[in-house]
């Protein structure tokens, strides 16, 4: 289950909401509990990835909230369709239409969206206004705060693990630089990818900058899907997994972890994306906590609710 429906009481507690999914034998989705008294400060939907059925469940939940005249917030750490920010159709825009116009939360909270272009679709309040809805606020939590708090805070009296941060390409430089700054103003080294201009496929990897002969380094990026890009990059860097770790905010790991183990000492990720029990994942998380360290987001994202 990737969708959790909760509510904040007037006393300030976050509890399970009376509004919960109901699936009829024919597959139709509904929400039960809508007739319970509306005694909550607001309703919260926290989604770790979303199936298409759960998208429809969100719409039903939102309608129940509106009927109860309760405010509601959608916490969606992994922004759906953010990698589809061009082409025909523009998938990110379609998902944004659905979230903005049908679910239409009072506040949307997310973290580290893949594309600034995609994020703008979710921020454009005129989509909601045009549909007769209420403009919502979109909050993007700064991922570097988590990296500082969970991995390396220079103000804490602890050994500093990393001596530099690596951006996998020029497009990821700003994200890597933000992480490097909070980790102690570390140097940022940029890598590069070579593509076949006719096919668009990646053909190789290289370092734009030369790494020091000593020290441990952290590659910082937003998404790891199959892992091929990071494996190729690690091989091009060539310093060995005893000196190279990886941060990916959204760890999908669709092809498992076996190849990544060969190239990285530790992978840091968050629980933004729910995993089924396959490809080395168990109970929604990677099965090896010593290799894949999962940093939980709830304590950060719930604090961003502003209704």
Q: What pTM did the predictor assign?
A: 0.90
Asked if 160 and 256 sit in the same domain, the reply is: yes
Domain annotation covers residue 265: yes
Asked if 173 and 282 sit in the same domain, the reply is: yes
For residue 92, what is the domain's CATH number? 3.40.50.2020
Asked if 195 and 124 sit in the same domain, the reply is: no
Q: How far apart, in whole angstroms, are the C-alpha atoms of residue 99 and residue 263?
A: 38
Asked if 166 and 290 sit in the same domain, the reply is: yes
Q: 90 in helix, strand or coil?
A: coil
Asked if 197 and 269 sit in the same domain, the reply is: yes
**Is the omega angle on the peptide bond into residue 160 within 30 degrees of 0, that is, cis?**
no
DSSP symbols for 184-242: TS--EEEEEEEE-TTT--EEEEEESSPPPSS--EEEEEEEESSSHHHHHHHHHH-S-TT
Domain of residue 33: give its range: 3-142
Please report the pLDDT score of residue 41 as a whole number. 95
Domain annotation covers residue 301: no
Domain annotation covers residue 246: yes
Please report the pLDDT score of residue 115 as a whole number. 82
In angstroms, what CA-CA distances link 53 with 49, 126, 166? 12, 26, 38
Single out the residue in 87, 115, 142 at which a domain terminates: 142
Q: How far apart, in whole angstroms, are the C-alpha atoms of residue 262 and residue 217?
A: 16
210-231 burial, b for 16+ CB within 10 Å, e for fewer?
ebeeeebbbbbbbbbeebebbb
Question: 13 is written with which tokens?
Answer: 């507690």
Domain annotation covers residue 95: yes
CB 14 within 8 A of CB 8: yes
Single out the residue in 121, 142, 163 at which a domain terminates: 142
Domain annotation covers residue 306: no
Asked if 251 and 161 sit in the same domain, the reply is: yes
Domain count for the chain, please give it: 2
Domain annotation covers residue 305: no
Asked if 96 and 182 sit in the same domain, the reply is: no
Strand partners, 29: 23
Count of residues for the chain?
Answer: 307
Domain annotation covers residue 213: yes
Asked if 165 and 282 sit in the same domain, the reply is: yes
- In which region does residue 172 sit, left (phi positive, over 0), alpha (psi from -120 to 50) or beta (all else)? alpha
Asked if 217 and 238 sit in the same domain, the reply is: yes
Domain annotation covers residue 302: no
Single out the residue in 108, 142, 176 at which a domain terminates: 142
**DSSP structure class, residue 133:** -
Please report the pLDDT score of residue 127 as a whole number. 47
* Tens digit of each residue's pLDDT, the chain (307 residues): 588 999 999 899 999 999 999 999 998 999 999 998 888 999 999 998 777 888 899 999 999 999 999 999 999 999 888 888 888 998 888 888 889 888 989 999 999 998 888 888 887 554 455 455 556 789 999 999 999 999 999 998 888 999 999 999 888 999 999 999 999 999 999 998 876 656 556 668 888 899 999 999 999 999 999 899 999 999 999 999 999 999 999 998 888 888 999 999 999 999 998 766 555 554 455 657 789 999 999 999 999 999 8
Torsion of CA 161, 111, 262, 258, to 10 degrees: 140
Asked if 270 and 133 sit in the same domain, the reply is: no
Asked if 133 and 177 sit in the same domain, the reply is: no
């Amino acid at each position: 289950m990737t969708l959790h429906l909760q509510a904040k009481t007037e006393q300030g507690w976050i509890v399970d909401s009376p509004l919960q999914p109901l699936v009829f034998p024919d597959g139709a989705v509904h929400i039960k509990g809508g007739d319970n008294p509306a005694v909550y400060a607001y309703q919260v939907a926290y989604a770790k990835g979303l199936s298409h059925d759960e998208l429809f469940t969100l719409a039903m939940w939102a309608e129940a909230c509106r009927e109860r005249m309760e405010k509601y917030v959608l916490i969606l750490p992994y922004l759906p369709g953010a990698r589809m920010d061009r082409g025909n159709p523009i998938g990110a825009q379609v998902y944004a239409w659905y979230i903005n116009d049908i679910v239409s939360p009072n506040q949307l909270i997310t973290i580290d969206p893949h594309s600034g272009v995609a994020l703008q679709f979710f921020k454009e309040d005129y989509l909601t206004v045009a549909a007769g809805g209420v403009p919502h606020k979109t909050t993007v939590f700064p991922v570097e705060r988590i990296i500082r708090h969970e991995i390396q805070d220079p103000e804490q009296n602890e050994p500093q693990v990393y001596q530099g941060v690596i951006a996998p390409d020029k497009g990821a430089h700003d994200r890597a630089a933000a992480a490097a700054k909070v980790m102690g103003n570390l140097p940022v080294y940029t890598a590069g990818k070579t593509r076949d201009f006719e096919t668009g496929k990646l053909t190789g990897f290289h370092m734009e900058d030369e790494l020091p002969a000593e020290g441990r380094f952290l590659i910082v990026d937003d998404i790891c899907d199959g892992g091929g890009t990071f494996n190729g990059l690690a091989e091009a860097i060539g310093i060995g997994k005893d000196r190279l770790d990886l941060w990916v905010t959204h760890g999908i790991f669709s092809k498992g972890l076996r190849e990544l183990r060969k190239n990285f000492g530790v992978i840091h990720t968050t629980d933004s994306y729910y995993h089924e029990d396959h490809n080395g994942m168990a109970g929604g998380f990677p099965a090896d906590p010593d290799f894949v360290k999962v940093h939980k987001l709830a304590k950060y994202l719930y604090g961003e609710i502003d209704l």
